[in-house]
Structure 1
Amino acid sequence: MSTPHTAALVIVDAQAGFINEHSQHAVPQLERLVHAWSATGRPVVFTRFYNPAGSPYEHVTGWTRLRTPQEQRIVDELAPYASSAVAIIDKPGSSALTPEFVTTIENAGWTDLVLAGIDTDACVYDTATAAYHRGLLPWIVTDACASTGGPEYHDAALLLARRNISPRQLITVDELLTGSAGPPGHTGCHTQHVD
């Protein structure tokens, strides 16, 4: 009998509307990560942001993107993995810890969330801090994240995560896949690289 998995991989907002010249480099890393993780039978969750009319994003900053199905769709490279994920969490805010996701986490007994996706400085960081404050252990896969605002925002978010969570919680795809860093009891995902 296998040991239950207590860590879930959370692919944050890998959506067409968040892909630009600053974030597109994260997609191959996300594909590599989710392929290796899911191949071992570990749980994967996708989040999908939507921006409803009258949202704080519109009211305060005038930002009205991520409203169309085209913008909200999971990127093509990851769509096959999303279709077999444990859950797809739709969310109107930056943190993925919606009541639905919290229930999923509690029912599954997950203690660790491995986070990767877009934007590092918004939804990834906010999900990590929300998880931390709920007593969960967040792991940020630094080279499988990106910011649509550019590398300075990505780097700023990681700087804050080092201070507000812990430098130990920031890992790379290679560290996670080889088992040299990551959730306790994690032994890596030794599978072939996705071309």
Structure 2
Amino acid sequence: MDFSQLRVKPLRFIPFDLGVNLSPKERKEIHLYLKNKYLVKELDERKKAILSREPIIASIYGKDDKLELYLFDTGIGVFVLKDKTMMYKEDIRFAAKFLKDRKDCHHSILEGKYSESLAIHKVINEIRSVLSPSNKKMRVSGLPSWEYDGLSYVMSIYFFFPIQQIKQTISFTYLPDYLQKGIPAILNPAYFINEEGSPYRQYLNWERLSSDLEQELHPQIKPYAKTVFKKGIYTAINDETLLYIKENNISKIFILGIDTDCCVLKTAVDLFEHHLHPIVLSYYSASNGGKESHNAAIKVLERLIGRQNIIHTELTSERVKECYRG
């Protein structure tokens, strides 16, 4: 099986030292402070079986467990960062690029330049301020002057998910002449961006289409895509595309793409409700959910926009002319 891309999910461990063992009183004070500012969590059964000491666990971003703190009574703490997904092309340059990215990321975290650095140092300083001055001998690794403001190293574990190469995502191997000569079409998804905080990440835990590599247009389409619209939701219809349609006096729009049951369906219905004539090219569309999902979407579209506005066969110049006469 061929794989053209690797999706990589990093899990980063960032330890620090408060410099002293925590007394029961200090542990209680820190626990109360963290509980008032962050989401303190209980240790689940799995972690109880693994850890010999029970730490204070706090989710720094509330219910979003992207950054968690584990603080032990030894005064040693560890931040666990579920970092953003990375995408790589699986080729001869993969190893070199991956290792460079890892090195750059670790340096950035230690030097306080990473996206989560501010939160990490803020929490460490807050915990230090809660600790009462004592006569305990401070470990040198607990001093703010220690290496990188109390941090010394980062350890990352990576989870690799190969993505099967799609040899051909549409049914034609070239774009016919009559589709090269200005017949308006919204290629859907034209340029989908799955941004941080999107509903797909928040509710579906779906992180695909978040890298430049994944967002690239198909090489067979790219030469003909003179106008490309960015979108971050199912539909391709927004103020930008509606303005383009209006300024170019477009009334009929051919829609094709992946997924039929998501972006294609939503775009077609939105066009219909804006009094624009959608024509769905079923023959050139597909679904990651398989043929069953594709067929279900077409069945729904037949009811929503009309059976006559769905083309199930390969396009011919005569069929295109017929659409414009109708």
SS in 2 for 1:115: strand
Match of 2:198 among 38, 55, 66: 55
Distance in 2 separating the partners of 1:145 and 1:35 = 16
TM-score, normalisation: structure 2: 0.46
Query: Aligned pair 1:37/2:178, yes or no?
Result: yes
- Structure with the greater alpha carbon radius of gyration: 2
Match of 1:166 among 301, 306, 315: 306
Distance in 2 separating the partners of 1:120 and 1:158 = 7
- Where does structure 2 lack aligned partners over 5 or more consecutive residues? 1-162
Spell out the pairing of 1:1-195 with structure 2 (5 A cutoff): 26-29=169-172, 31-32=173-174, 34-46=175-187, 47-82=190-225, 85=226, 87-179=227-319, 183-185=323-325
TM-score, normalisation: structure 1: 0.74
Distance in 1 separating the partners of 2:265 and 2:308 = 15
- Where does structure 1 lack aligned partners over 5 or more consecutive residues? 1-18, 187-195
CA drift of 1:42 comes to 2.7
| Two-structure CA RMSD over aligned residues (Å) | 2.4
Identity %: 27
Distance in 2 separating the partners of 1:98 and 1:180 = 26
Distance in 2 separating the partners of 1:20 and 1:118 = 16
8 Å contact from structure 1 (residues 26, 143) kept in 2: no
Given the superposition, is the C-alpha separation of residues 43 and 93 from structure 1 closer, same or farther in structure 2, using an over 3 Å criterion? same
CA drift of 1:38 comes to 3.5
Listed one character per residue, the Cα deviations across residues 66-113 of structure 1 (whole Å, up to 9, x for unaligned) are 01011000011222112xx2x101000111012110000010111111
Which amino acid letter does the alignment assign opposite residue 240 of structure 2? E
Distance in 1 separating the partners of 2:209 and 2:297 = 22
Which protein has greater RCO, CA pairs closer than 8 Å, 6+ apart?
A: 1
8 Å contact from structure 1 (residues 94, 126) kept in 2: yes
Which amino acid letter does the alignment assign opposite residue 73 of structure 1? E
CA drift of 1:26 comes to 4.2
Given the superposition, is the C-alpha separation of residues 74 and 173 from structure 1 closer, same or farther in structure 2, using an over 3 Å criterion? farther
Distance in 2 separating the partners of 1:95 and 1:182 = 27
8 Å contact from structure 1 (residues 113, 137) kept in 2: yes
Distance in 1 separating the partners of 2:194 and 2:202 = 11
8 Å contact from structure 2 (residues 194, 208) kept in 1: yes
Distance in 1 separating the partners of 2:199 and 2:290 = 22
8 Å contact from structure 1 (residues 49, 72) kept in 2: yes
Distance in 2 separating the partners of 1:115 and 1:182 = 16
Distance in 1 separating the partners of 2:322 and 2:264 = 17
